[in-house]
Structures are given as C-alpha cells and as structure tokens.
Structure 1
Amino acid sequence: MKALIVDGEELIRLSLKEVISVSSNFQEILEAGSQHEFLARTASHDELSLIVVHPSSLGNDGADCLRLVQRLYPDAALVAMLDREGQNVGDLGNMVTVLRNASVGQMVTAIRRALKLPLDGFGSVSNQPSRPDVRGALRHEFDRFQENATPNRSAIDSIDLGRLSYRQKQILAMAADGLPNKEIAARLSIAEGTVKAHMHAIFKVLGVSNRTQAVIRYGAVGSANPRPSQSDSWTYANAS
C-alpha cells in the first residue's frame, strides 16, 4: 500500500509519516507540501490507498485539493485534518475527519477507520498491551532525522548566530512551534512575503535548505537566545 500526506508544514508531515507507518502496512509514504506538489505526485503514483490532507495549511488551495483528491483517487481512504470542531470542508462520502491537535492514538484510529481496518488494539479504542508504541516510534524517527540533518562539530562551530537578526530569531522560534508563515506574519504584524524572505536568509546563515533542518541546526549550535516576552515584543512589532 501507498499513502500520501498533503500538508503545508514539514514538521507535521514528518510526524504524520511515522503515525501512518504504524497504522498499517505501508510500503511507501509520500509527502506533498502544496497542491502543486500533490499534482506532481499524481503524475507518477496512480495508486494510493490512503491520503491525509490538512486543507487549512494549503491556504486558498485547500478546498480545491480535497476535491481533486476525490476526483483523482475515488477509491482511496481519505482523512481530513480540521483546525476546529464543525469546520466545513465539504461533503465527501469516503472522508474521515480528525482534529489537527488530536492525540497520536486518535490519529491512528481515524486512519484505520478510513481504511476500514479493525480498531482493536489501536489508539483510544482499546487499552490492550498490543497497542503500538507510537510515541517511541516518533522519537526514533526524529532522532534519525536529526542525526542526518545535524552537521559535524566543526561545521556547527563555524556557524555565526550573530548574523541572525532579532526578528529572524523570533521567526525561527515560531517555526519551531510549527506555525505556518501566514500565522507568523499575523503575529508579528508583517507581510507573509517578509517572513519568507527572512526564512531564506536564515537558511543561508545556518547552511540548510528547509525549515526542519533550520530548527534542528539552530538547536545544535547550543546558543539560541531565549524567546522574547510579551512585554518586549511590542518594541519590535514594526521591525522587518
């Protein structure tokens, strides 16, 4: 079986990948961070058993992406992640919904329900000892990713965090919390394009190519500044 995760946040996709892997026997789990990437995946993968989509993370393309999933993969199990109870994502007959902030057990249950698989021993449905160690699996996946993404000691020592501005450290801290660029921009009262420009500058300073690697490498340097308090944040509200 093959599964596809469609979510605009890389850190979320990383976690979901491991949750899906313990939900059933998948030979391949693909990722797409946008509707464009989703369509690119469809060009080379015509058979998918499961598709997990977080419409809100795709911005204005979220609703369209759900409809495309239904049209291109009518037989695939579909799980839509919602930001809140009662969120309207349309009426797709084979869709199972789950909250974005659901527990790992609830997410596993939703996936297996969408696949029409037995629920015994998984998630919150049962407390049997046979329930998979999802948390342990997530830690293992992240440790493995960190090992591959973290540079050697000499490379770490060569990074000059002084080249990061206060604003860039703010943005990096929010990215570590999994906030998308749009929400970061709203919280800092700056344009989303400004956030993207800062992120690209951060990548260059840290010598990485994506948000996840940036967060891990920043932590590996070991000298990240504490996050600003709310009382200090207003001073920088108009910084760019």
Structure 2
Amino acid sequence: MVVDDEALVRSGFDLILSAADDIEVVATSVGAEAVDTVRRERPDVVLLDIRMPDVDGLTVLGRLRALPEPPVVAMLTTFDADEYILTALRSGAAGFLLKDTEPDQLAQLVRTLVAGGVVMSPKASRAVWQNHPGAAVVDDEDSTRVGRLTEREREVLVLIAEGLSNADIGARIHLSAGTVKDHVSAILTKLRVGGRVQAALLAQRAGLLDEGQRDGEAGPGSGR
C-alpha cells in the first residue's frame, strides 16, 4: 500500500510495483484515510510519505504501529537528510526510501521489507547522521556494546545495516538460515536494542558501515 499526498507519486509507485509478478498494490491512500484503509486491506507493507499536509507521516506511523497486527512501514521522503527520518526509524519504521528511487530497484526494496530486512541505504543514512551531529555521538556504553560482538557478529551487523534479510545474509557469507538467526539474536541482545533498525542505526553511528565497505574491497563482506 502506498500513502502519499501527491497523486503522481501514488500512481507512479502503483504502476511500477504492479508490474512485478510477485507484488500486488492493494490500495493507495492519502494520510487522513491511511489507517482505515490499512485496517480494511491488511497490506504486508506500507510505503508512507513522511511529510503530508493534512496529517504528518509520523502521526500515521504511530497509529499504524498501534494496530494489533501492524504492517511493515517504510517512510517515503524527497530528501536523504530529512530531519524526521531519524525519529521515524526510532518509532518503528523499517527504513526509508527516497521518492526518486530507481524504478528497477523499487520492487526489490519491497521484497527486502517483506523478508524482514531493513531498507536504509548507507549513503542516505550517513546524511541523516551528518545532519544530526548530536545523535551521531557514540557514548561509552555504545562502544562497550559493540565491543561485545565477535568478528562474525560484527560482519552480520554490517549486513543487517545494509538491509539484508537473514536468508540474504546466509547466502552472502555462506551460513545456514538458523545460524544467521542465532547471530542476529545474539547481536540484538548484546547491543540491547529492540530490533534490526535500531541495530542498523547503532552500526551506522559507530562507523561499522564504513569499516565494512573498506574490508569489502578485498573480501566477500562488501556492500551491495
């Protein structure tokens, strides 16, 4: 389901996603109607505009997260350094997409969301942190948490932050799905975070994505 106040964005995303054989756009909506439409249509994923004139996306996100069976929600934004992105991620969004995302990437990003992955490109997430310097400070407790991770867990954390699902992580570093699941559980426990998005944010804040990209130049851990 696509929620945006601009008809052109709604119709464009609908057209692009509906062309994929494995994706069905069950509805499009504007902000004020979004929650009722989600209750009626029960989509797996909602792409939600972060800035709308009648009701802002953060308010809609909060209402969707309060539903008994909330959908996965990713925010739509025009600006990769949108000041509201960080708040949305901390409020339960599974990531964010820029509205000018290449059409051939859009369907794959939706598949990533359905598979439990995080949609948050390293370039765009760095812009978020760079424009919120106070949020970018890694305190001693964060450093201690990251220090608890094994080398393999750090590698898995970088791939979580790249947006990979457990299955994709397993394929990338040649581990079984069960082993990856165990690593993810250990990472969330050691970092004391509530989910993959919060882990990805901490990884970004700690500079692990930059480390992963440098290491990836000579090995299999490089980013997509």
The alignment's TM-score, normalised by the length of structure 1, stands at 0.40
Q: Tell me which structure has the larger Cα radius of gyration.
A: 1
- TM-score normalised per structure 2: 0.42
